[in-house]
Amino acid sequence: ETGVTQTPRHLVMGMTNKKSLKCEQHLGHNAMYWYKQSAKKPLELMFVYNFKEQTENNSVPSRFSPECPNSSHLFLHLHTLQPEDSALYLCASSQEGGPGNTIYFGEGSWLTVV
Amino acid sequence: AQSVTQPDIHITVSEGASLELRCNYSYGATPYLFWYVQSPGQGLQLLLKYFSGDTLVQGIKGFEAEFKRSQSSFNLRKPSVHWSDAAEYFCAVAFTGGGNKLTFGTGTQLKVEL
């Protein structure tokens, strides 16, 4: 079992649908992240949660709504998405604190918006 | 703001040949530097990281990287490439005061010819 598990691995949704991505970490970390990976663009940090509190929202549109019920689980709720939102969404976790803490990534959820 | 440049989008090497992937960063103070690898359909795996001390750092899978402050570079090297090294490689930087937020380069796609 990997340290950071994401489900589903693949998701196709229409622009009027509502869906959610789920992430679970088994590493005892207290910080969790959502990154977006689009073709030919650097990974973009979307949200950061430390001890279940959101500490970073990198100007993400409100059609993406994160939820962190505890330090082990992170969700990304999706609604009324656009085709340009199609991408690989990566969840990650680390110990909260300094920049030297290693960030561990899940395998990602491939999202296609049709 | 800090930034990371990976000037080579694609690199092809023969199996057994040496490899060097370039990474340059833009940041005033000493950064925290990372190299990650992403195999097809997978998440990102940390290869190595540098904070301070010896400027030549060893990582997993036989990779090493050298921090050169004068050139603002953190190039990744491997003496002899294996076919299984074919993947995408990302350089990333973090900084004191920025928490655990990583800024990534656009990645270098490595192809290994048999």
For chain B, say whether A10 makes contact (Cβ under 8 Å).
Answer: no
B18-29 residue pLDDT tens: 999 999 998 767
**HSE toward the beta carbon, residue A64, CA cutoff 13 A:** 20
For chain A, say whether B107 makes contact (Cβ under 8 Å).
Answer: yes
Give all strands (DSSP E) within B1-114, no chain letters: 3-5, 10-14, 19-21, 24-26, 32-38, 44-50, 56-58, 64-68, 73-78, 87-94, 103-104, 108-113
For chain A, say whether B53 makes contact (Cβ under 8 Å).
Answer: no
Q: What pLDDT sits at residue B23?
A: 97
Q: What pLDDT sits at residue A74?
A: 97
Cα separation, B47 vs A32, whole angstroms: 20
Cβ–Cβ < 8 Å for B89, B110: yes
Q: What pLDDT sits at residue A58?
A: 86
Considering only CB atoms, A42 lies closest to which of B45, B96, B104, namely B104
Enumerate the residues of chain A whose CB falls inside 8 A of the CB of residue B43. 4, 6, 90, 105-108
Q: What pLDDT sits at residue B28?
A: 65
Give the model's confidence band at B38: pLDDT under 50 very low, under 70 low, under 90 confident, else very high: very high
A91-100 residue pLDDT tens: 999 998 777 8
A31-52 residue pLDDT tens: 999 999 998 788 999 999 988 8
Cβ–Cβ < 8 Å for B85, B61: yes
Neighbours of A54 (CB within 10 A): 12
Cα separation, A112 vs A81, whole angstroms: 10
The one-letter code for the residue type at A9 is R
Kindly tell me if the per-residue pLDDT of B1 is higher than 90: no
Q: Kindly determine whether residue A42 and residue B36, on different chains, have CB atoms separated by under 8 Å.
A: no
Q: What pLDDT sits at residue B8?
A: 95
- % of chain B at pLDDT higher than 70: 97
